[in-house]
Amino acid sequence: MLTEAIHNEALQAADQATANYIAKNGEGYPCGFAWVHATIKGNTKLGKSFIAQGFDKSYTGGYRLWNPGKSFTQDMYAKEAGAQAYVDTIKRHIPDAPIYVSSRMD
């Protein structure tokens, strides 16, 4: 299950990864978005735990968490770095969690 402690650890990792990316590469092109997508059902124990931590229903199915690094940058790659850090942290705690990074250019 995704607990508040695991979620907060993943958010901190996402914030740090986004900041590290910007410090190393600056902010640039392409502008876009990144999020974490969980291919789970909301009526399962795991699904309910993700929803409790702020994941919302995705129109493509499953649940998503937009911009877990909470960065105001428009740099899609920086946001992807944060989303990947979030996923990596969750996977360390819940190895079989069906989550991955999604992104799109603006």
- Per-residue model confidence as pLDDT tens digits over 32-66: 999 999 999 999 999 999 999 999 999 989 999 99
Look up the pTM and report it.
0.94
Q: b/e string for 49-80 if b means 16 or more Cβ within 10 A?
A: bbbebebeeeeeebbbbebbbebebebbbbbb
Backbone angles phi, psi at 29, to 5 degrees: -90, 150
* End-to-end alpha carbon distance in the chain: 33
pLDDT class of 88 with cuts at 50, 70, 90: very high
Residue 76 has pLDDT above 90, yes or no: yes
pLDDT of residue 43: 93
Q: How far apart are CA 15 and CA 64, in angstroms?
A: 17
Q: What angle, 0 to 180 degrees and rounded to 10, lies between the N-to-C axes of helices 4-25 and 76-93?
A: 150
Mean residue pLDDT across the chain: 95
pLDDT class of 28 with cuts at 50, 70, 90: confident
